[in-house]
């Protein structure tokens, strides 16, 4: 079949990102030709400032090399500016006479710096700041000239000024407003920034309008004059007063434009064969000048170019960071000063003038709508995430300003501020990745998302405790290029559906097996992948107990063989000891089995039972038979242990029989599968020897009854369980904690611990479901008991069912 022809006008980040996204999902449907008017392949425009500041070289910031284009059979025409589109015959023409036919055309013509319409703007030495050429011009100018004037105290202007200063020039920044970065900062933060930049040697002239530029006899700029009559020396003038979408080409071809190329939510222009992405576009009346929205557009556009017909771009909320080394600022959303206005806006402000820290959060209707951070931006992405997700904040309002503390307590030397770390410090303790390695990967390989960084560097890809740090590093390296991931993301690459959509469809359409679910929900892969299959299997089983078909091949090996795989491929065997209570008989049996199978290590676990480690797979069934004890589910995304203290039976402080309560809970919820592992603990008094405070469900006996705590976690990130309620009786403990676990089982995402689920839905929601809706609570508890009815102990079943033993046997030839 003849391939369709796709022509891309614009070899910048938006255009090429779209091509990359397209190649990922439909590599073979187009012959692609790319025209770019610069002499370079696609490079990372947002890294021009580091180049100017001598922190990077041009080679470092190339995103797609010429070899990359060749490998993907893309025809690349550099230094070729398209100046005509013949829509009738579907041909584009370049200034140099070249032409190319298209079936579909993608316009990604970017933007141009806005040049103030003042006398002298065409003098030599007056430039914008947009591309490699401008950057080189500045570096060259700095070698022979002394006085630089940057007009515009916005992000780009300040980055240019900082770079020129490093290049050795005397730099004056001229700004029309009362403070710098008035779009990104309020006055207080703007003044703090100015002070810091002055300390770096920059000069500022605020509330000044440039009237004209005067040249010398050679036609090079020499002096700048302002409307108040002041004149200053200027051998180089950089205009950074804003950008304008570059839509002249589209307009000349008769495509509807209004301050940009007008596109719909699929990134299509008024000509259905022509799409447009990037800074040249006006989407819902807005043109974006930051890179994160461009990437969102690229993704959507690619799905339409690939004829999938899915994906809508609905606009972006943007955040900004300034890429000037040593200056930390972050802002997002609407943070304009609300003085005097009675519009429901509230502000929380922290200001430490001496320490150089300023933080402002703007809140409306219980949601963050804007934030400005200066000096300490570690929590920028966290606030931005809540802003984008419109998350209610009243539960955490008291501590909101102090940030998301303990981004990770273990594995990275207690650090939770990436900026304070040196390049040699280890960020990811699991995979041994240092900060410098991550920064280098982001810069050299052109990474823009957490997933990219995880994939390429492995940082944050194991236990995940350092993801917050990695995110900070990514945000500060990319500046405006960084967009935090949306919280509702697809289950995996096999589908675009997120966890909640998948759960809802399984319920609505009553899918009972994985093939039916994948077919019904339009899975792109024939049988999913190692990420989605275990999730689907769990969702089916938890939604339709006794009806859905369990698929062992979609379970992780541990659940498939009821034992934990170890690094050398051996397994561990942990029998249940309800409530951590055992008997001399059990201990003798365990000792005999350990002897018989020459178990290399016998260890007491943190969950109050005994682990037999280093067992060969082919010995598992025999050991289970000889042990004749129930499986401890130590391998399961499901109920693990109920840890108990001695309790009132023996302990002189005990107020309740915590041991028996633990045994009863463990028996009642035995065999329960869940989105992730579930651990209980029961303590007999507030001394809490069973460590109930860090369990998914922690129960503490007091003289008048039992307190129930939920959402604790003692792992990567220590989380104290939160108080749910106090109940009087033994049966109520079972009902309340059972209902809590059942709602978690039904509503959490696969691999969410209870703490993650509660973090997302809020403790208030949980309380409402368990405490306020007593019918609902009882019903949830009943559903849990129904799901567990007739559950089979897996070890015993394996021992009985000889046909299943094959899985454990090795074939010898």
Partner 1 sequence: MSNWVKVAPFADIPKLGARVVRTKNKENADIEIGVFRTEDDRIFAINNTCPHKGGPLSQGIVYGDKVACPLHSWKISLIDGKAEEPDVGETACFKTKVENGFVYLELKD
Size of the site for partner 1 (CB under 8 A): 27
Give CA separation, 506 vs 268, 444, 523, 527, in Å.
34, 43, 13, 17
Q: What is the pairing mode between strands 610-615 and 601-604?
A: antiparallel
Nearest CB to partner 1, comparing residues 345 and 560: 560
Element (DSSP H or E) covering residue 799: helix 794-800
CA distance 59 to 728: 70
Shortest distance, position 556 Cβ to partner 1, whole Å = 7
- Number of neighbouring beta carbons within 10 Å of residue 79: 13
Shortest distance, position 205 Cβ to partner 1, whole Å = 49
Shortest distance, position 809 Cβ to partner 1, whole Å = 8
Shortest distance, position 805 Cβ to partner 1, whole Å = 12
Shortest distance, position 526 Cβ to partner 1, whole Å = 6
Q: Binding of partner 1 at residue 122 (CB under 8 A)?
A: no
Nearest CB to partner 1, comparing residues 354 and 813: 813
Burial of 785 (0-12, 13-18, 19+ CB in 10 A): middle
CA distance 131 to 411: 41
Q: Site for partner 1 (CB under 8 A): which residue of 530, 595, 652, 802?
A: 530
Element (DSSP H or E) covering residue 160: helix 155-166
Nearest CB to partner 1, comparing residues 211 and 551: 551
| Residues between 695 and 724 with contacts to partner 1, criterion CB under 8 A | none
What radius of gyration do the chain's Cα atoms show?
Answer: 32
The answer to whether residues 213 and 224 touch, using CB atoms and an 8 Å cutoff, is yes
Q: Binding of partner 1 at residue 533 (CB under 8 A)?
A: yes
Q: Site for partner 1 (CB under 8 A): which residue of 59, 265, 500, 807?
A: 807
Q: Binding of partner 1 at residue 399 (CB under 8 A)?
A: no
Q: Binding of partner 1 at residue 528 (CB under 8 A)?
A: yes
x/- letters, 556..585, toward partner 1 (CB under 8 A): xx---x---x-xxx----------------
Residue 490 phi/psi, 5-degree rounding, is -60, 150
Shortest distance, position 532 Cβ to partner 1, whole Å = 9
Half-sphere exposure of 771 (CA within 13 A, CB side): 12
Q: Site for partner 1 (CB under 8 A): which residue of 218, 508, 553, 789?
A: 553
Nearest CB to partner 1, comparing residues 531 and 582: 531
Shortest distance, position 725 Cβ to partner 1, whole Å = 39
| Residues between 422 and 461 with contacts to partner 1, criterion CB under 8 A | 455-456
Residue 539 phi/psi, 5-degree rounding, is -60, -40
Nearest CB to partner 1, comparing residues 544 and 808: 808
Shortest distance, position 355 Cβ to partner 1, whole Å = 41
| Residues between 462 and 501 with contacts to partner 1, criterion CB under 8 A | 462
Reduced 3-state DSSP string for 624-658? HHHHCCCECCCCCCEEEEEEECCHHHCCCCCCCCH
Q: Site for partner 1 (CB under 8 A): which residue of 309, 414, 526, 790?
A: 526
Shortest distance, position 527 Cβ to partner 1, whole Å = 5
The answer to whether residues 619 and 611 touch, using CB atoms and an 8 Å cutoff, is no
Structure-token pair, residue 191: 């003044």
Choose one: 29-37, 466-474, 547-555, 692-700; the region binding partner 1 (CB under 8 A). 547-555
Where residue 181 falls (left for φ over 0; alpha for ψ -120 to 50; beta otherwise) is left
Shortest distance, position 254 Cβ to partner 1, whole Å = 44
CA distance 123 to 115: 12
The answer to whether residues 558 and 638 touch, using CB atoms and an 8 Å cutoff, is no
Shortest distance, position 530 Cβ to partner 1, whole Å = 3
Choose one: 183-191, 297-305, 548-556, 656-664; the region binding partner 1 (CB under 8 A). 548-556
Q: Site for partner 1 (CB under 8 A): which residue of 65, 252, 423, 525?
A: 525
Q: Site for partner 1 (CB under 8 A): which residue of 527, 718, 800, 801?
A: 527
CA distance 111 to 373: 28
- Please tell me what DSSP assigns to residue 792: P
x/- letters, 637..656, toward partner 1 (CB under 8 A): --------------------
CA distance 13 to 278: 8
Reduced 3-state DSSP string for 207-262? CCCEEEEEECCCCEEEEEEECCCCEEECCEEEECCCEEECCHHHHHCCCCECCCEE
Q: What is the DSSP string of 459-506?
A: TTSSS-TTHHHHHHHHHHHHGGG--PPPSS-BSSTT-S-BHHHHHHHH
Shortest distance, position 451 Cβ to partner 1, whole Å = 11
CA distance 348 to 493: 40
Nearest CB to partner 1, comparing residues 218 and 810: 810
The answer to whether residues 681 and 606 touch, using CB atoms and an 8 Å cutoff, is no
State the alpha helices, DSSP H only, in 243-315. 248-252, 291-305
Shortest distance, position 806 Cβ to partner 1, whole Å = 6
Nearest CB to partner 1, comparing residues 539 and 736: 539
Nearest CB to partner 1, comparing residues 228 and 451: 451
CA distance 522 to 491: 13
What is residue 348's three-state secondary structure? Answer: strand
Shortest distance, position 459 Cβ to partner 1, whole Å = 13
Shortest distance, position 12 Cβ to partner 1, whole Å = 25
Shortest distance, position 560 Cβ to partner 1, whole Å = 8
CA distance 735 to 741: 10
Nearest CB to partner 1, comparing residues 436 and 515: 515
Choose one: 262-270, 363-371, 555-563, 591-599; the region binding partner 1 (CB under 8 A). 555-563
Q: Binding of partner 1 at residue 798 (CB under 8 A)?
A: no
Give CA separation, 644 vs 607, 648, 666, 679, 735, in Å.
9, 12, 11, 11, 19
Shortest distance, position 424 Cβ to partner 1, whole Å = 23
Beta-strand runs (E) in 108-167: 111-113, 126-127, 147-151
CA distance 546 to 790: 9
Choose one: 188-196, 408-416, 730-738, 804-812; the region binding partner 1 (CB under 8 A). 804-812
Q: Which residue matches tokens 């007063």?
A: 241
Nearest CB to partner 1, comparing residues 359 and 533: 533
| Residues between 756 and 775 with contacts to partner 1, criterion CB under 8 A | none
Element (DSSP H or E) covering residue 389: helix 380-389
Instruction: Say which residues have a Cβ less than 8 Å from residue 195's Cβ, sequence separation at least 6.
Output: none
Choose one: 432-440, 553-561, 690-698, 760-768; the region binding partner 1 (CB under 8 A). 553-561
Shortest distance, position 181 Cβ to partner 1, whole Å = 37
Residues at the contact surface with partner 1, assessed by CB under 8 A:
455-456, 462, 525-530, 533-534, 553-557, 561, 565, 567-569, 806-807, 810-813
């Amino acid at each position: 079949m003849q391939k369709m022809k796709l022509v891309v006008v614009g070899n910048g980040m938006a255009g090429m990102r779209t091509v990359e996204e397209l190649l990922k999902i439909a590599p073979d449907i187009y012959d692609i030709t790319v025209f770019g008017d610069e002499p370079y392949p696609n490079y990372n425009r947002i890294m021009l400032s580091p180049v100017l500041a001598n922190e990077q070289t041009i080679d470092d910031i190339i995103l797609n090399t010429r070899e990359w284009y060749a490998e993907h059979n893309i025809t690349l025409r550099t230094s070729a500016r398209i100046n005509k589109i013949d829509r009738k015959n579907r041909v584009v023409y370049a200034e140099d006479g070249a032409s190319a036919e298209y079936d579909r055309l993608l316009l990604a013509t970017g933007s141009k710096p806005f040049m103030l319409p003042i006398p002298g703007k065409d003098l030599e030495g007056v430039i914008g700041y947009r591309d490699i050429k401008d950057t080189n011009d500045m570096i060259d100018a700095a070698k022979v000239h002394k006085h630089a004037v940057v007009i515009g105290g916005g992000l780009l202007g300040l980055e240019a000024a900082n770079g020129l200063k490093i290049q050795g020039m005397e730099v004056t920044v001229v700004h029309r407003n009362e403070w710098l970065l008035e779009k990104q900062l309020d006055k207080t933060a703007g003044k703090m920034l100015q002070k810091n930049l002055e300390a770096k040697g920059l000069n500022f002239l605020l509330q000044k309008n440039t009237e004209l530029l005067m040249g010398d006899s050679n036609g090079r700029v020499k002096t700048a004059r302002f409307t108040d009559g002041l004149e200053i020396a200027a051998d180089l003038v950089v205009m950074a007063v804003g950008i304008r979408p570059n839509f002249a080409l589209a307009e000349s071809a008769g495509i509807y434009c209004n301050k940009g190329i007008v596109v719909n939510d699929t990134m299509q222009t008024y000509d259905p064969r022509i799409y447009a992405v990037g800074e040249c576009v006006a989407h819902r009346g807005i043109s974006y000048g930051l890179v994160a929205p461009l990437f969102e557009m690229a993704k959507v556009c690619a799905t339409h170019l690939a004829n999938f017909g899915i994906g809508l771009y609905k606009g972006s909320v943007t955040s900004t960071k300034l890429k000037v080394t040593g200056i930390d600022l972050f802002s997002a959303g609407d943070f304009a000063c609300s003085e005097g206005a009675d519009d429901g806006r509230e502000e929380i402000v922290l200001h430490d003038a001496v320490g150089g820290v300023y933080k402002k959060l703007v809140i409306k209707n219980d949601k963050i709508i804007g934030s400005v951070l200066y000096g300490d931006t570690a929590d920028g992405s966290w606030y931005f995430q809540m802003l984008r997700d419109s998350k209610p904040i009243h539960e955490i309002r008291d501590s909101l300003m102090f940030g998301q503390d303990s981004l990770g307590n273990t594995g990275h030397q207690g650090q939770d501020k990436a900026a304070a770390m040196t390049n040699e410090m280890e960020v990811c303790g699991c995979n041994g990745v240092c900060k410098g390695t991550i920064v280098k990967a982001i810069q050299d390989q052109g990474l823009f998302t957490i997933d990219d960084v995880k994939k390429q560097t492995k940082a944050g890809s194991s236990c995940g405790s350092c993801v917050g740090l990695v995110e900070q590093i990514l945000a500060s390296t990319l500046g405006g290029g960084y967009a935090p991931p949306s919280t509702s993301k697809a289950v995996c690459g096999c589908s675009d559906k997120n966890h909640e959509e998948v759960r809802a469809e399984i319920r609505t359409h009553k899918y009972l097996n994985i093939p039916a679910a994948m077919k019904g929900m339009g899975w792109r892969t024939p049988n999913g992948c190692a990420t989605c299959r275990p999730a689907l299997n769990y969702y089916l089983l938890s939604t339709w107990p006794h009806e859905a078909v369990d698929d062992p091949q979609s379970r992780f090996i541990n659940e498939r063989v009821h034992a934990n795989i170890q690094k050398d491929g051996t397994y561990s065997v942990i029998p249940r000891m309800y409530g951590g209570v055992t008997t001399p008989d059990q201990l003798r049996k365990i000792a005999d089995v350990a002897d018989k199978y020459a178990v290399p290590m016998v260890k007491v676990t943190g969950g109050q039972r005994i682990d037999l480690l280093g067992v060969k797979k082919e010995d598992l069934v025999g050991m289970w038979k000889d042990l004749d004890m129930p499986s401890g589910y130590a391998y399961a995304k499901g109920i693990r242990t109920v840890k108990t203290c001695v309790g009132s039976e023996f302990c002189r402080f005990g107020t309740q029989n915590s041991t028996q309560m633990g045994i009863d809970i463990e028996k009642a919820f035995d065999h329960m599968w869940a989105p992730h592992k579930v651990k209980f603990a029961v303590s007999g008094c507030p001394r809490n020897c069973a460590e109930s405070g860090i369990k998914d469900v922690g129960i503490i006996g007091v003289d008048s009854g039992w307190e129930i705590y939920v959402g604790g976690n003692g792992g990567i990130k220590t989380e104290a369980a939160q108080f749910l309620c106090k109940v009087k009786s033994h049966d109520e403990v079972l009902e309340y904690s059972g209902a809590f676990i059942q709602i978690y089982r039904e509503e959490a995402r696969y691999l969410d611990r209870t703490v993650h689920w509660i973090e997302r839905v809020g403790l208030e929601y949980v309380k409402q479901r368990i405490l306020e809706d007593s019918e609902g609570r009882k019903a949830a508890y009943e559903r849990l008991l129904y799901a567990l009815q007739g559950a089979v102990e897996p070890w015993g079943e394996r021992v009985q069912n000889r046909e299943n033993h094959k899985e454990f046997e090795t074939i010898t030839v």
